[in-house]
Amino acid sequence: MEQKKESPVTEPKKAENPSADIVTDAKATVKIEGQEFELDAALAQEDKTLKVVLQPHFASIENANITREVKDGKLTVTIVKRAQHKGTL
């Protein structure tokens, strides 16, 4: 039986303006629990690093949804805490 070769996975097309996804500002805006503040963009690039930095101040970040958006070279990170189960039913 002959095996079929799978075609390589193609990556989704980038936005028409590829420079729109490049972070040029050294500071990122972080939005969490109704607050907004500036943080070094390098610290906001990865979930793991961001969680380590913010955990002492926002315990809810451990199980939060983290989304990032780059607009005009400025990184904006939005953190929304997830509802957690409070025991058994």
- Is pTM beyond 0.95? Reply is no
- Residue 83: pLDDT band (50, 70, 90) is confident
Over the stretch 3-38, which tens digit does the pLDDT of each residue have? 555 545 444 444 444 555 788 999 999 999 999 999
On average, the pLDDT of the chain sits at 81
What is the per-residue pLDDT for 87?
A: 66
Indicate the helix (H) or strand (E) that contains 53: helix 47-54
Distances in whole angstroms, Cα of residue 60 to Cα of each of 4, 51, 65? 47, 10, 10
Q: What is the DSSP string of 39-50?
A: EEHHHHSSHHHH
